[in-house]
Amino acid sequence: MVYAIIAGGVFLSDLILKRYMDKKYARKVRHPRLGGRIVLEKYYNKGAALNFMVKRPNLLRIIHTVILVVVGIFSYFLMRLSGHALEKTGVALLLGGGLNNLYDRYTKGHVVDYFHLNFGPKWLRAIVFNISDFCIFIGALLAVAGSEVS
């Protein structure tokens, strides 16, 4: 049950943030925060990370759907096992973030990204993220780390 709450919490929190950004902020206008270390900037991403497959949005939506179905099936069997807390937490974060971005792809035709980091290497500064992206990344790390421990 706790893992469903984690996945649902990720999904709902990012849904609320994306709706807020869509209503309150104009596209491609930068709003520095935390001394300029974080920059809010609404961006509509029709591709995957770094605009990968931006010219093939329908194929990307299919691939995204298939991946989430596989993760969902894996999650179903994983949740039936005792233990595996790290792995389960990772998969819950993956599902919540992945479903939120997929929801955007189906309802809007793009994923709403809304902040980027203004520190680190140039390639990192160029990427616009949303909370789901971080949850997907952290979830994948936790799932892999959890599978190594088991």
* Percent of the chain residues past pLDDT 90, beyond the cut: 90
Q: How far apart are alpha carbons 121 and 116 in whole angstroms?
A: 12
Of 66, 86, 70, 100, the C-alpha closest to 139 is 86
DSSP run (H or E) holding 42: strand 38-45
AA letter at 90 = G
The pTM of the full predicted model, rounded to 2 decimals, is: 0.92
Tell me how long the chain is: 150
| Beta bridge partners of residue 38, listed in sequence order | 33, 117
Domain region containing 133: 2-149
Helices (H) and strands (E) in the chain, counts: 5, 3
Instruction: Give per-residue pLDDT as tens, 97-112.
Output: 999 999 999 999 999 9
Q: Is the pLDDT of residue 26 over 80?
A: yes
Residue 129: half-sphere exposure toward Cβ, Cα within 13 Å? 16
Question: Which residues are annotated as catalytic?
Answer: 113, 133
Q: Do 28 and 39 touch, CB atoms closer than 8 A?
A: no
pLDDT at 147: 86
Surface-to-core class of residue 137, CB atoms within 10 Å of its CB (0-12 exposed, 13-18 middle, 19+ buried): middle
User: Binning pLDDT at 50, 70 and 90, where does residue 79 land?
Assistant: very high
Band (51; pLDDT cuts 50, 70, 90): confident
Task: Please tell me the predicted confidence (pLDDT) of residue 150.
Answer: 59
The separation between CA 41 and the C-alpha centre of its own chain, rounded to angstroms, equals 16
Q: How far apart are CA 29 and CA 89, in angstroms?
A: 35
Domains: count for the chain: 1
